[in-house]
Amino acid sequence: MEDNIAAINSFKPDLIYGFGSYIGALFRLAHERRLPMHRPKLILYGADRMADFDRHFIETEVGLPVISGYQAAEALRIAYQCERREGFHINIDHTAVRVLDEGGNPVAPGEKGEIVVSNLLNRATVLLNYKLGDIVTLGHSACACGRTLPTIERVEGRTGVIQLPEGGIMHESVLFENLQSIEGVVQVQVIQETLQSFCLHVVCQPGVDWPATRLRLEGAVRALLGSAVTQRIMRVDSIPREPGGKVRAFISRLLN
């Protein structure tokens, strides 16, 4: 990261574009270590999510606008953010989009569901009703910017499924929504090692009361997964990335 900061300072770009989790970690590291860093005019990210804390920090503390896009190799540019940055406009002339619940029924505006796309441009390999494996929240209405395209309110993450100890399943987004809402928590990775044992890697804000934060994390996990689960919760500086550069938020050892 220090090498990339040095390269940014040397090149002085107007735009920094990359993986959301990496850009967030880059600005966080520069702030924590008081490293001078060139200020571009715009931050653009894709491929994976930027932690809510990181985006808020870059926009409010650093004072830089942060814009994201939503795309996939199978469906090109599915949606984009406008200057208001309040959701994603769906490119319906490129990609037909549906958001479905677990039963395959369309979700209502404001509800989460799995995104299903039909690529309208690719003439070689036509993909119709293709599940990308992502969970999104469907927008309530058109954006206040004046564009009338349908919207996605939020891209939640992958369709990882947690196997519950007493039987049944829970989507990972339910757990992460609660864990990442705890004050001081920046990023979490959850590894389900057995039906009843979980390991959490947690990135926190500097100066956080870690013993108190850990207790709140333990309580949130027990409240959702049951009191019988065992937990190993470790504070880390960063979460390891996959070879492609992305961060896997949920890993199930049960499927390996």
Residue at 74 is within a domain: no
Which of 112, 139, 156 marks a domain boundary?
A: 156
Backbone phi, then psi, for 68, in 5-degree steps? -125, 155
With vertex at residue 81, the alpha carbon angle to CA 7 and CA 189, rounded to the nearest 5 degrees, is 65
Give the domain extent around 113.
82-156
Average pLDDT score over residue span 220-227: 90
Quote the number of domains for the chain: 3
State the pTM of this model.
0.76
156, 172, 194: which is the final residue of a domain?
A: 156
Q: Which of 156, 176, 208 is the last residue of a domain?
A: 156
Residues 135 and 108 reside in one and the same domain: yes
Measure the CA angle with vertex 86, ends 46 and 206; round to 5°.
65
**Residue 166 pLDDT grade (very low, low, confident, very high; cuts 50, 70, 90):** confident
Spatial separation of the C-alpha atoms in residues 174 and 162, rounded to whole Å = 10
Query: Which position has the higher pLDDT, 170 or 69?
Result: 69
Report residue 213's pLDDT band, with 50, 70 and 90 as the boundaries: very high
Is 142 in the same domain as 166? Answer: no
Q: Note whether 14 and 87 are same-domain residues.
A: no
Residue 138 belongs to a domain = yes
Question: Are 25 and 250 spatial neighbours (Cβ–Cβ below 8 Å)?
Answer: no
- Does pLDDT of 256 surpass 60? no
Q: Residue 255 — pLDDT band, cuts 50, 70, 90?
A: low
Q: CATH no. for residue 121? A: 2.30.38
d(CA 13, CA 159): 35
